[in-house]
Amino acid sequence: MSSNRPSWAPPERLLLGPGPSAVPARVLQALAAPTLGHLDPAYLAIMDETRRLMRQVFATENELTLAVSGTGSAGMEACLCNLIEPGDEAIVCVNGVFGGRMREVAERYGATVHAVEAEWGRAIDPDAIRRTLQEHPRTKLIGIVHAETSTGVQQPMDEVARLAQEHGALLVVDCVTSLGGVPVPTDEWKADAVYSGTQKCLSCPPGLAPVTFSKRAAEAIRSRRTKVISWYLDVSLLMAYWGSDRVYHHTAPINMTYALREALLMVVEEGLERRFARHQLNHLALRAGLEALGLTYIPDRSLPTLNAVSVPDGIDDAVIRKRLLLEYDIEIGAGLGPFKGRAWRVGLMGHSSSRRSVTTFLAALGTLLRELGWRGGSGDPLDAAGAVYAGHEKSS
C-alpha cells in the first residue's frame, strides 16, 4: 500500500474521524516556513493578522480574541478558569463526553456545578436550563456544547442565549466541532466566551485553541477577587503579550501560528456562507448514502460536521474500522461511553468535507458490509449520494 515511503514517514490517511481532519498542503507549507523569534516585529504582525482572522471566523468584534497554546481542551480550561472563582455557581449542560469534560474542568477550578443533563444523542432542553436557573438564582455562568462530537448533536442556541441574557449569566460555548463548519455567530448569541480547536473544521494540525471573550467577560475578569488559578492560561497575562504591551509570557508556538493564519485565510477566502453550504451538502449526500445502506442516524439534530450512526446488528464495529484503516487508509471514529461498540462517528470537517471523501468512504463501507454479510438497506449508496449532488447542481 504505502511500501515506497521512507520508514519515518507516516501513511497518508483519509481522515474522516472526529478530528483531526485533513490538512491542506497550503497549511502544511506554512508550518514549514522559517521560525521567527516570538517578539520579532514580523511575527507580531502575523499574530495581529491571525487575531483579525479569528474575529472574522468567530463573527465577533471582541477585542479579547487570541489563540491559546494547546488543543481545544486548553481553550475550554482558559474560558472556565478565567471566569470562575472558587465558590461560584455554574450550570453546565451535559449530553455527551465534552459536556462532561466541561463539568469536570469547572469543578476543578472551584465552581459548584448544577448539571443540566439530556440523554446522549439528544439536545439540551432550554426549559431544563430555565428551571435550574430558577432553583439556583446565584448562577454566574452557563456552559454548553454547541457541537457535541461524542454524539453528533447540534445544539440549538437561540433560546439558551436568551436565557443567559435574561438571567445575567455569562454564556460559555464549546464550538470546537462547529467553528468553520457550522455558523458560530458569537456576537449575535451575545456569548461571553467561545472556544475552539485547530484540528476540526479549521483543518489545521492540532495545537492551538482560538478563544474569544466578550466585553462583559473582560469586565468579569477585571473585577475578580482572586487570582486565576492557572498561571499559564491567565488571560490578563496572555493579553499583555497578544495586546499592545508585547510582554513575554511564554514562547508562542510560532510555526503553529503560521499554520492557523493560513487555515483561517482559507476559510475567509472560501467565504463563511459557502463553506457552511459545502459542509451541509456533503453531509446530506453522506446521509443519503448511509441510509441507502440501511444505517440509521443516532441524534435527533445531526451536525453536518459529525455523523453518528448505529452499527448494524450482527456487524463487528472494530473489524470494520480496522479494515477501513488498513485496507482503505480511511479513518473513522468509534462510539464513546454508552455508544461504545454501537456507533460509528464519521467526520466531514473542513478540508475533509468533500465529494471525494463521501464517495470514497461510502464505496469502501458498502463493500466491507457486503463482505461481512450485511444485507440491509434499500439501494446503492453511491447512487443515493450522487442524486443529492445532482439535485444540488440543478437547483443552483
**H helices, E strands: number in the chain:** 14, 14
Contact code string over 128-147 relative to ligand PLP, x by CB under 6 A? -----------------x-x
Copy the grid coordinates of residue 151. Answer: 454524539
Cα separation of 283 and 274, whole Å?
14
Cα separation of 170 and 179, whole Å?
20
User: By CB under 6 A, is residue 58 in contact with ligand PLP?
Assistant: no
Crossing angle of the two packed helices 126-135 and 158-167, in degrees rounded to 10: 20
Among 139, 177, 282, 352, binds ligand PLP (CB under 6 A): 177
Cα separation of 155 and 363, whole Å?
31
Q: Which is nearer to ligand PLP, 72 or 366 (CB)?
A: 72
What b/e readout covers 281-314, taking b as 16+ CB neighbours within 10 angstroms? Answer: bbbbbbbbbbbbbbbebbbeebbbbbbbbbbbee
Applying CB under 6 A, the span of 26-34, 40-48, 122-130, 173-181 interacting with ligand PLP comes to 173-181
Site for ligand PLP in 18-57 (CB under 6 A): 19
Residue nearest to ligand PLP (CB): 72
Q: Which is nearer to ligand PLP, 174 or 234 (CB)?
A: 174
Q: Is 169 in contact with 193 (CB distance < 8 Å)?
A: no
Q: Nearest CA to 117 among 341, 348, 337?
A: 337
**Smallest distance from ligand PLP to CB 149, Å:** 3
DSSP assignment, residue 64? E
**Smallest distance from ligand PLP to CB 210, Å:** 11
Site for ligand PLP in 61-90 (CB under 6 A): 71-73, 76
**Smallest distance from ligand PLP to CB 345, Å:** 10
Among 133, 176, 235, 332, binds ligand PLP (CB under 6 A): 176
Among 58, 98, 120, 276, binds ligand PLP (CB under 6 A): 98
Binding site for ligand PLP (CB under 6 A): 19, 71-73, 76, 98, 145, 147, 149, 174, 176-177, 197, 206
